Chain A
Amino acid sequence: MSLAIQAEKIEKSVGSGSSRIQILNATSVSIDSGETVAILGRSGAGKTTLLSLLAGLDQPSAGRILLDGHALNGLDEEQRAKVRAGRVGFVFQSFQLLSGFTALENVRLSAELAGLSDARERAISALKDVELGHRLEHLPRQLSGGEKQRIALARAFVARPAILFADEPTGNLDAATGAHIVELMFALNAQHGTTLVLVTHDEALAARCQRQLRLRDGQLVNA
């Protein structure tokens, strides 16, 4: 089985001099293709920082990262964006939809950025997969929190990315809606065989993943 993500001795610190804070300290992790992994830890443990480095949203202070076979080290933001497009999907706690775009446009955007020629058809299909076929032309402000997160799921899967990063995907939802979103996410993940990297506080949700990684003092304790 090939590796979807490989991180070797990555470090991340912010600030300088006496105000320097070490967030991640010589952390290494390898995630296989198709594997589902949960990252757990207390607030401030560095979960989101680790996710942002693995997804190529930020650069480590030290160490090496391979994302779907592409070395991220030395790439500028423009080149990392190119790597992300089409290969990586995201689901965020606060949905992160473009407020001026309809549900269909939000999902189609991701397909277009991946360079898919049938972006519109795929977006409609993805929205139907998350049971929002009837909400194609609705703007985010016209939808409930659960519906917004389903649009985010459709956007994440529309380009069939190799890897899905999810940051507290149920954090802004009530329990029932959150459970529904989780079911959908795992179902789609299984359907597409996507690698899932999930950041959460929720032990029950983490337990649904094949592997759980805990961050403590900037290091993964059971990587």
Chain B
Amino acid sequence: MNWRLRWARHHLSALIQDSELRVLGLALVCAVAASSAVQLFGDRMARAITAQSGESLGADLIISARSPIDDTAISALNPQLRMARTIHLPSVIWFGDSNHLAGLKAVDEHYPLKGELRTAAAPLHEERVARQIPAPGSAWVDAQLWSELRLQRDATIEVGATTLRVSRLLTYEPDRGSGFVDIAPRLLINMQDLPATKLLQPGSRAQYRVLVSGDEDSLQQVKALEFPPDTQLSTPADARPEIRSAVSRAESFLALASMTASLLGAIAVGLCAHQYGQRLRADVALLRCLGAARRDILGALLISLLAMASVAGGLGAGIGWAVQFLLQDLAQLMLLPSLPPPHPLALAQAWLIALILLAGFALPPLLDATRAAPIAVLRNDNPQQRAGWGWQFAALGGLVGLLALQAPSWSMLGAVIAGQALTAALLAVLSLAILALLRPLRHAALRGWRLGLGNLLRRTGLSIAQSMALGLGLLALLLLTVVRHDLLQGWQNKLPPDTPNQFLINIQSDQVEPLQAFLKARGVTAQRIWPMARARLVAVNDQPVDADSFSDPETQRWINRDFNLSWADQLGDDNRMVEGQFWGPEAHGQALISAELYVRERLGVGIGDTLSLDFAGDVRRFTIHHLREVDWESFQPNFFLLTPPGVLDAVPATWLTSFYLPPEQRSAMRDLSQTFPGVTVLDLDALMDQVRTIMQRIVGALEMVFVFTVAAGLIVLLAAMEAGRHERRREIALMRTLGASRREVRQALLSEFAALGALSGLVAALCAQAVGWVLAAQVFEIPYEIRWLTVVGSAAAGAVLVCALAWLSLRPVTNTPPDRILRE
């Protein structure tokens, strides 16, 4: 091994032995771990989606509608076409006294046409491919429903008016989507059992599907057939857009965390490398003095940087590899049950990140060190080099390259750079302001504290850099914990305690009175009972419209399907008139319509315009009477369109109502399901619990990646401490030599770092509260109370944290005899 390799090896071993390189190594490992965890996980999710696309529908084509589909025309097309039929609808399932809302799916014996069903005997049992669908009289439930109802194998559950035996645990179904009936726990039954449940009533929330599989020509023929207007055709090409969208959002969020960690890592690497470069100048001067060529010195340094990138990259990638397995929970929440194994090639990017970090942020100061003049060995001086333009360009290039590698889009790259710059500026300004406020205090303090505060104020630049570094880390932590909790709590508190938690839909007209009597007999006070008809918009101001008449996808979707409307002679408190007045009794029977602002936004219509609605072939024309705005978060039934009473009496309608049911009266709902099997009960409490659980699990998974961000913030703090460490060593030695006691020195250090930590915590908490307030006001529209206790607590936590770090970093210095330091 020649001297170049030995010198490179020395730098590598300094990753452990030298405090600056140790922090540099930690920063590299942290940035690479965050990035590789996110990259590996993202790669696995992308491959899972791609792999699933073929079987994501369970067929080559799905025809779905809200009413039974006549498939005789399809059968007649080509005998080679295979078909299966499914019906999906929400229903409350009972087991003993427990109930839960489930997404019921009835399938025929041909299901699925593509992909496979997988089941297990019970949770944690071996998964097997199912060759057949559930036998008549039996049902398969998924793990969530199994757990919610505390089922055992062969348990008997009540589904509408019938009972079924739970024979298997459903672990995988190829065509599970993410609509309500798909997110809700799954109950899979045989189509033959559906009539006995009596859940299928006119106007029920059922979705009918015909699954088709065959060659391309036959499928084209099917697509060319005429279907009723509310029929939708889906192919694998447009399968699961909701999952792609959810995955993309999660990836963006994860990328944000990993980009922040990389950014902080870059700052730490730059700080440490700059400091190490200053010390390296002495070695370089000696080597040059002894006759070493600069290119040899450069070569040795490049070897060591490559080795560092390999070691830190490998370690970081290993940690990232382990962490991304923990993120699998997130994938399951997005209904991607089995992810393919991680691809080793995705790890290559981890090394690339390490290389970019070193090349952009460590190489420039080290290159500069190789220009040290040999004469420095005689003079014992190593003049500090100021960063030149070359460095700044390298750092900027490295930064953009680093973030571009991880950013899902250029717009996000720009947003992250701008957002981080803004946050850093805000932190810097706040730090500067607080430091200015501290200035008068140093004269009033005790000697040790005076020295400490003096140090903090004397090194204003370094103090602000340190405060920003820790502040960024603490800010991420506060936003994810305290502020998130406050916002959720605030949103939940917004609802009054008697907010309806039960919705009954699909009530037939002849059930209205018996149902009201049923509820009254059980002491349940129902809110209004609303009629509900379904219609489709066919003309605006007598001009026929369809989806193609609008370019906006949301309007296209709205136009493309039936929507609900109702009639009323008075409005609830959650409706606010925007234009015009609500009608009086004289409007009874007139073809007027009350439109919510959404209708104006989508169609661009106003008072006096006409809307023609098709009620199952019965087209009627209405004039917009007024515009109103609905508070959709009131949890009360509301409609985009209302007519006066007496207009739609002849139109087929169902009814809905809502009410608050105390937990102790839950059993009433069981009786209701049995007495009115066709009425669908939506238990909002259960839904909210489900949403809350899913949110907690998603946030939990995301927080794992933000741990890296916080760690990176702490590493930057360590790096910033290292930056002043050598100067501080000499200062401490001088103070001790001039008679300061060890206690006074420690007091000075503790006061300096306590003040710095409190400053960072305070600044981070103020920023977090500001973000919380903006989110509350602009997004959630809820009042947000500044939590001063959190502000004080964060300042205290920052002080303790920084003191602990400083203690670890500088304790050996205070214990070293001053003469030894001064002789170095």
B291 touches A92 (CB 8 A): no
Residue in A51, A81, A109 whose CB lies within 8 Å of B374: A81
Of B7, B286, B293, B375, the residue contacting A82 (CB under 8 A) is B293
Q: Which segment of B376-384, B425-433, B650-658 sits at the interface?
A: B376-384
**Interface-lining segment among A3-11, A24-32, A94-102, A183-191:** A94-102
Nearest-neighbour CB distance to chain A for B114, whole angstroms, equals: 63
Binds B, one of A35-43, A83-91, A128-136: A83-91
Check B694 for interface membership: any CB of A closer than 8 A. no
Q: Is the CB of B378 within 8 A of A82?
A: no
CA A167 – CA B378 in complex, angstroms? 8
Say whether A100 contacts B10, CB under 8 Å.
Answer: yes
With A48-B379, A112-B3, A167-B378 as contacts: A100 and B293 at CB distance below 8 Å: no
Q: B367 to nearest A CB, angstroms?
A: 16
CB distance from B550 to the nearest CB of A (A): 71
Asked whether, in the complex, the Cβ of B289 is within 8 Å of the Cβ of A90, the reply is yes
The answer to whether B289 touches A57 (Cβ under 8 A) is yes
A110 touches B290 (CB 8 A): yes
Give bound CA distance, A81 to B377, whole Å: 14
Q: Is there contact, CB below 8 Å, between A109 and B380?
A: no
Give the CA-CA distance A96 to B290 in the complex, in Å. Answer: 11
Verify if A108 is at the interface (C-beta below 8 Å from B): yes
Does B524 reach chain A (CB closer than 8 Å)? no
Partner of A85, one of B10, B286, B291, B378: B291
Q: Does B687 contact A (CB under 8 A)?
A: no
Q: Is the C-beta of B292 less than 8 angstroms from some C-beta in chain A?
A: yes
Chain B residues within 8 Å of A75, by CB: none
**Chain B CB within 10 Å, residue with most, of A51, A77, A96:** A96
Nearest A residue to B4, CB-CB: A112
A84 touches B378 (CB 8 A): no
Question: How far is it, in angstroms, between the C-alpha of A58 and the C-alpha of B379 when the chains are bound?
Answer: 12
With contacts A105-B6, A112-B2, A112-B3 taken as known, whether A85 is within 8 angstroms of B290 at the C-beta atoms is: yes
A84 near B375: Cβ-Cβ < 8 Å: no
Q: In the complex, which of the residues A86, A94, A105 contacts B3, with contact meaning CB atoms closer than 8 Å? A: A105
CB pair B292–A113 under 8 Å, yes or no, is yes
Give the distance in Å from the alpha carbon of A109 to the alpha carbon of B291 in the complex: 10
| Contact of A198 with B by CB under 8 A | no
**In the complex, which residues of chain B have a beta carbon less than 8 angstroms from the beta carbon of A113?**
3, 287, 290-292
Give the tally of cross-chain contacts (CB within 8 A).
Answer: 77
> What are the interface flags for B778-803 relative to A under an 8 Å C-beta threshold, 1 for contact and 0 otherwise?
00000000000000000000000000
Query: For A51, what are the chain B residues with a Cβ–Cβ distance below 8 Å?
Result: 378
Contact yes or no, A77 B378, CB < 8 A: no
**B283→A78 contact, CB < 8 A:** no
Across the interface, B291 reaches (CB within 8 A) one of A86, A100, A101, A167, namely A86
Out of A78, A98, A109, name the residue touching B293 (CB < 8 Å): A78
What are the residues of chain A within 8 A of B11 when measuring CB–CB?
A: 100
Q: Tell me the minimal C-beta distance from A94 to chain B in angstroms.
A: 6
The answer, yes or no, to whether A33 is at the interface (CB within 8 Å) is no
In the assembled complex, which residues on chain B have CB atoms less than 8 Å from the CB atom of A96?
A: 282, 286, 289, 377
Interface: A213 (CB within 8 A): no
Q: Which of B250-297 contact A (CB under 8 A)?
A: 282-283, 286-294
A125 at the interface (CB under 8 A from B): no
A residues near B379, Cβ cutoff 8 Å: 48
Contacts of B2 in A (CB 8 A): 112
Count how many chain B residues have C-beta atoms less than 8 Å from C-beta atoms of the other chain.
Answer: 26
B192 interfacial by beta-carbon distance below 8 Å: no
Judge if A114 is at the interface, Cβ distance under 8 Å.
yes
Contact B378 A81 (CB under 8 A): no
- The contact of B375 among A57, A83, A85, A98, by CB within 8 Å, is A57
At the interface, yes or no: B98 with Cβ under 8 Å from chain A? no
The interface residues of chain A lying within 8 Å CB-to-CB of B294 are 77-78, 81
**Complex alpha-carbon distance, A48 and B381, angstroms:** 13
B373 CB-CB contact with A under 8 Å: yes
A167–B2 alpha-carbon span in the complex (Å) = 28
Is A52 at the interface (CB under 8 A from chain B)?
Answer: yes
Residues of B within 8 A of A57 (CB): 289, 373-375, 377-378
Q: A101-B6, A101-B10 are in contact. Are A52 and B375 (CB under 8 A)?
A: yes
Interface set, chain B 4-53, CB cutoff 8 A to A: 6-7, 10-11, 13-14
Contacts of A155 in B (CB 8 A): 290
Check A92/B3 contact, CB under 8 A, given A85-B291, A113-B290.
Answer: no
Residues on the A chain within 8 Å of B374, using CB: 57, 77, 81
Checking B282, B289, B291 against A114 with a beta-carbon cut-off of 8 angstroms, the contacting residue is B291
- Taking CB atoms, residues of chain A closer than 8 Å to B377 are 57, 90, 92, 96
Known contacts A98-B283, A100-B13, A101-B10; is A48 also within 8 Å of B378 by CB?
Answer: yes
Chain B positions within 8 Å of A52 at CB level? 375, 378
Set of chain A residues within 8 Å of B288, measured between Cβ atoms: 77, 81
Cβ-closest chain B residue relative to A108: B3
Q: Is B7 a contact of A100 with CB atoms below 8 Å?
A: yes
Query: Distance (Å) between the CB of A142 and the closest chain B CB?
Result: 13
Q: Name, among B283, B378, B379, the residue most crowded by chain A CB atoms within 10 Å (CB to CB).
A: B378
A91 to chain B, nearest CB (A): 11
CA distance A51 to B378 in the complex (A): 9
B20 to chain A, nearest CB (A): 13
A88, chain B: closest CB distance, angstroms: 8
Instruction: Give the distance in Å from the alpha carbon of A100 to the alpha carbon of B304 in the complex.
Output: 13
Instruction: Take A77-B288, A100-B13 as given contacts and tell me if A92 and B6 are in contact as well, using a CB distance cutoff of 8 Å.
Output: no
Separation of A17 and B9 alpha carbons in the complex (Å): 47
Choice from A77, A99, A112 contacting B373 with Cβ under 8 Å: A77
CA A183 – CA B288 in complex, angstroms? 28
Once the chains bind, are A81 and B291 in contact (CB under 8 Å)? yes
Docked complex: B373-410 residues within 8 A CB-CB of A:
373-375, 377-380
Q: Which of B3, B6, B14, B291 contacts A84 (CB 8 A)?
A: B291
Chain B residues near A109 (CB, 8 Å)? 3, 287, 290
- A27 to chain B minimum Cβ distance, whole angstroms, is 17
Contact with B along A48-68 (1 / 0, CB 8 A): 100110000110000000000
Closest-by-CB residue of B relative to A109 is: B3
Write the chain B residue with the least CB distance to A102.
B6
| B292 touches which of A58, A81, A90, A105 (Cβ 8 Å) | A81
* Smallest CB gap from B295: residue in A: A78
Q: In the assembly, what is the distance between CA of A83 and CA of B291, in Å?
A: 7
A residues apposed to B, CB below 8 Å:
48, 51-52, 57-58, 77-78, 81-86, 88, 90, 92, 94, 96, 98-101, 105, 108-110, 112-114, 155, 167
User: A77-B374, A88-B291 provided; 12 other pairs, C-beta below 8 A?
Assistant: A52-B375, A57-B374, A81-B294, A83-B291, A90-B289, A92-B377, A94-B380, A96-B377, A98-B7, A99-B283, A100-B7, A113-B291
Q: 14 A-B Cβ contacts within 8 A?
A: A77-B294, A77-B373, A81-B291, A81-B293, A84-B291, A85-B290, A90-B289, A96-B282, A98-B286, A99-B283, A100-B11, A101-B6, A114-B291, A155-B290
